[in-house]
Structure 1
Amino acid sequence: MVVLIAKNTVKEGLQEEFLEIAKEMIARTREEAGCISYDLAGDQNDTQVFYFIEKYQDEKAVEFHRATEYFQTLVPKIAALRVKPSEVSTCTVVE
């Protein structure tokens, strides 16, 4: 299993726009065969920070996700709303 944690710091005042796009990404990704779970969490201490918490069966499923048309379309829209590039941690479940 591969776990991705992607930190997104959104520009002030653009949180609602970010959430609209994120909701579409979440719905589409959850339909992928290799996706185990795909959630979005908001930081309790900073309303501009959101984390995509993604679990996939394997690296092949991650590659599939990144190659989808909607990923290629939605990620640039999300990128335009961020203060800086997304910070992505790729993890392996230990236990």
Structure 2
Amino acid sequence: MLAETPFETLGEWCEYTRSERGWDVGPHVGGPLVDDLVQAIRDGVSTESVDVLASSASQYGECTLDAVLRDVEGVPPEVLRELALAGLTLQPTPSQVGYEHVAATV
């Protein structure tokens, strides 16, 4: 999980990315920390997609975890837990029948 990476939170990873690579890191970011967070969400619920966007590619202007969950109503507690452990803030997003869109920022 997050403790097994050099960064304890996604926020720390995003700060490192900004300072080491500048703002133009491309639309998608990755690494062990992000992989662990994405895998934890995929393991917890049925997902259509899970992605992490660099601040330059996010509509929120911050590193953003963007996920579409299948067959749920609302954001499940296990997803909320992973977002909280990663230090993310849930953003309001519209949902569709059978799908829940989750956006969370650092």
TM-score w.r.t. structure 1 length?
0.48
Q: Larger relative contact order (C-alpha < 8 A, sep ≥ 6)?
A: 1
TM-score w.r.t. structure 2 length?
0.44
- The structure where strand makes up a greater share of residues is 1
